[in-house]
Amino acid sequence: MNKPDNQQKAASAAVTPRAQDYSQWYLDVIKNACLAEHSPVRGCMVIRPHGYAIWEKMQRELDDRFKETGHENAYFPLFIPLSFLTREEKHASGFAKECAVVTHHRLKSVNGEIVPDPESKLEEPLVVRPTSETIIWAQYKNWIQSYRDLPLLINQWANVVRWEMRTRLFLRTAEFLWQEGHTAHATEKEAIEETWRMLDVYADFAENVMAVPVIKGRKTEGERFAGALETLSIEGLMQDGKALQMGTSHYLGQNFSKGADVRFQNKDGQLEYVYASSWGVSTRLVGALIMTHSDDAGLVLPPKLAPVQVIVIPIYKSDEERVRTVEEAKKVAAELKALGVAVKVDDRDGIMPGAKYYEWEGKGVPLRIEVGPKDLEKGSLCIARRFVAEIKGETPEAQRKRRKAFLPRAEAIASIVPTLAAMQGELLERARNLRTERTRVIDKLEDFEKFFGEGGGFAWVHWAGDAAQEDELAKRFETSIRNIPFEDQIPAEAKGEGVCILTGKPSKQRVLMSKSY
């Protein structure tokens, strides 16, 4: 079916330029691309078809990677009995605050008004899962008896709820969609390897699918997941210079297996608590995607995540031209589909080509093919790219030519797949360059202050302060330690020992600081 639904009707409002108001730009991009919107339920968003299609592509890519690394999907209950949350002490204090609590199981009509039936009050309230460690480990108790039952490598795709007062589409909502991996291992070594492996899976996905370069590292103690011995993260840099935590992987040690009393008989016949990891990414990644690549014309999508990679638009004046150009557009689409390209024909009548261009640009479609009567005569096609890599010193005229080219038909068709691949690479390159531009190795507090006063970015900083001093820095500059990057993540110019930027104490390595979402 080529007829786009109303989700795809021409965008009506212009996008606020980033330089003018970054927050409004973000909302405008989402609105114009029909990705999501607020719902009448406080804190909950509606993910519209175009936004959901991007999430589906992310899911497919991630799910394939999870399965390749030996994981299986399963599904656990939405509700967690209140008492379960108290089983792991740190977890309880870290998570048990802002939750949706189910207290009744029936409604009743009282004087024409529907209210929770007081007689249906639950003996034990249920919490809508904010994360599933406790309920899943209660089940693992039935599944794990011996080392032969391990490792247990399970993932769940699900919705979770963490009550939020100040929400932001995709980045922070009360309900969001995510995946949560929960694995069980016979040894600490294996569980730690799993924790690191899944962070690598996330980093690979971020860079090679989302085209978002990330820094891998450990979170500081204060930023660890409630109940984890170690939390690893990948951190991306958004266009406004703020970091976004894009995924986390936790080594949980025996905390949750002790909480749920999950022991196994090891090879020596002794009972031992199981070692655990958990790891997750969420619809927040759609926010990261938007904020890394999009521009003042709206959404920009890496071809690997574009639900529509190529839009074909027939251009005509008369009915006779319409018939011929639509026919050719469909032929072109069929040929591209056979090459594995996600292609759509926009043959809606009554909408001017310019409006269509504008709409599909706003939706981030990487390539547009225009099919006009002259193209038919000449046997050519016009191919327009959503973006081109910047070339320093290039004239606007020269850049326009690279953005929009008329090619002989066969050559044009043959160019699509390699062009999409090139664009995928160019986006990653562009994001890397932007990150480099906004990254500093900083040794003095005054330079730190200046950098973050002027917008900021990633700062490689020596740190040896305590938690209170971390808070102090956060209050003064709105910055935080994003993570303590792994050795191989540190650029040459930031390597080596030094002294803490705040306390002057010796420091073994630099950490990654920035403002953040």
Residues between 113 and 142 that touch a second copy (CB under 8 A): 114-116, 120, 125-128, 135, 138-139, 142
Nearer to a second copy, 99 or 473 (CB): 99
Q: Is there binding between residue 342 and a second copy (CB under 8 A)?
A: no
CB of 427 to a second copy, least distance (A): 25
Q: Is there binding between residue 450 and a second copy (CB under 8 A)?
A: no
Measured CA to CA, the distance from residue 228 to residue 278 in angstroms comes to 9
Q: Which of residues 158-197 bind a second copy (CB under 8 A)?
A: 158-159, 161, 163, 175, 177
Nearer to a second copy, 143 or 261 (CB): 143
Q: Which of residues 39-98 bind a second copy (CB under 8 A)?
A: 39-41, 44-49, 52-53, 55-56, 69-70, 72-82, 84-86, 92, 96-98
Cα three-residue angle 144-146-147, rounded to 5 degrees: 105
CB of 58 to a second copy, least distance (A): 13
Nearer to a second copy, 255 or 483 (CB): 255
Measured CA to CA, the distance from residue 338 to residue 342 in angstroms comes to 10
Q: Which of 105, 401, 450, 495 binds a second copy (CB under 8 A)?
A: 105
CB of 367 to a second copy, least distance (A): 21
Q: Is there binding between residue 100 and a second copy (CB under 8 A)?
A: yes
In this chain, which stretch among 21-29, 149-157, 185-193, 386-394 interacts with a second copy, using CB under 8 A? 149-157
Q: Which letter, b or e, does each residue of 65-92 get, where b requires 16 or more Cβ atoms within 10 Å of its Cβ?
A: bbeeeebeeeebebbbbbebbebbeebb
Nearer to a second copy, 138 or 459 (CB): 138
Strand pairing report for 175-185 and 214-218: unpaired
Q: Which of 61, 90, 94, 104 binds a second copy (CB under 8 A)?
A: 104
| Residues contacting residue 127 through CB under 8 Å, at least 6 positions apart | 79, 80, 81, 82, 85, 96, 99, 100, 101, 102
- Using DSSP's 3-state secondary structure scheme, residue 405 falls into strand
Contacts within 8 Å (CB) and 24+ apart, 47-51: 47/177, 47/283, 48/7, 49/5, 49/7, 50/7, 50/8, 50/307, 50/363, 51/170, 51/286
Cα torsion 103, 108, 114, 117: sign: negative
CB of 34 to a second copy, least distance (A): 9
Cα three-residue angle 503-507-508, rounded to 5 degrees: 170
Count of residues of this chain found to bind a second copy when the rule CB under 8 A is applied = 77
Bond prior to 151 in cis (omega within 30° of 0): yes
In this chain, which stretch among 1-9, 193-201, 244-252, 289-297 interacts with a second copy, using CB under 8 A? 1-9
CB of 311 to a second copy, least distance (A): 16
CB of 279 to a second copy, least distance (A): 17
